[in-house]
Amino acid sequence: MPTDPTAWSLALPRYRAYLCLKARLQIDQVLNGKLDPSDIVQDTLLEAHARLSQFQGVTDAQLLAWLTKILAHNLIDAIRKFHGATRNVGRELPIELKLEESSAQLQRWLQDADLTPAEQVSREELLCRLASAIEQLPKDQGDAVRLHYLLGWEIARIGQHLGRTPASVAGLLRRGLNRLRILLNDTE
């Protein structure tokens, strides 16, 4: 656990894929790909780096929570700019809640009962590896995996969203999961 801002700044890039995944989940729902999640994550990491002296946490989990909060504000700002709208608190609250929901969904996906601190760290590392692996999938496979397993969409709905048949979506999911297994096993 780093104790100074310089050490924390070295940890920031490790969370890029995880933040991209969370941003992509929200942008898919709100703007259907009209904003690039990697741009928002880059802004988030730059802002976090500039504000590291304000970070009060001592654990990786606290850093991740802090980064997620910055990401939520950057998503709200990006959506506001895209729509050219003035501040709409009704739109902001659901995004923050959806980010919390997507975090909870990711953690439920990997969660066991009572975890020791070492197991918590291991789980956080696995979440980051999973997010990175999903980012490496071909776009349609990654979209299908995110929508089905992380957002809980039905295969038919994913097919409509992606302009594919349900059988095609099932194939994307099967190939995506097989590729994820390979990617996750290669990093162990």
pLDDT digits (tens, 9 = 90+) for 18-69: 888 888 877 755 565 577 888 889 999 999 989 888 888 888 778 888 888 8
Q: How far apart are CA 68 and CA 62, in angstroms?
A: 10
Four-point Cα dihedral 44, 49, 53, 56, nearest 10 = 50
Q: What is the pTM of this model?
A: 0.64
Closest CA to 74 of 96, 100, 97: 96
Q: How far apart are CA 3 and CA 24, in angstroms?
A: 31
CATH architecture under which domain 137-188 falls? Orthogonal Bundle (1.10)
- Which regions of the chain carry the CATH code 1.10.10.10? 137-188
pLDDT digits (tens, 9 = 90+) for 131-156: 889 989 999 999 999 889 888 889 99
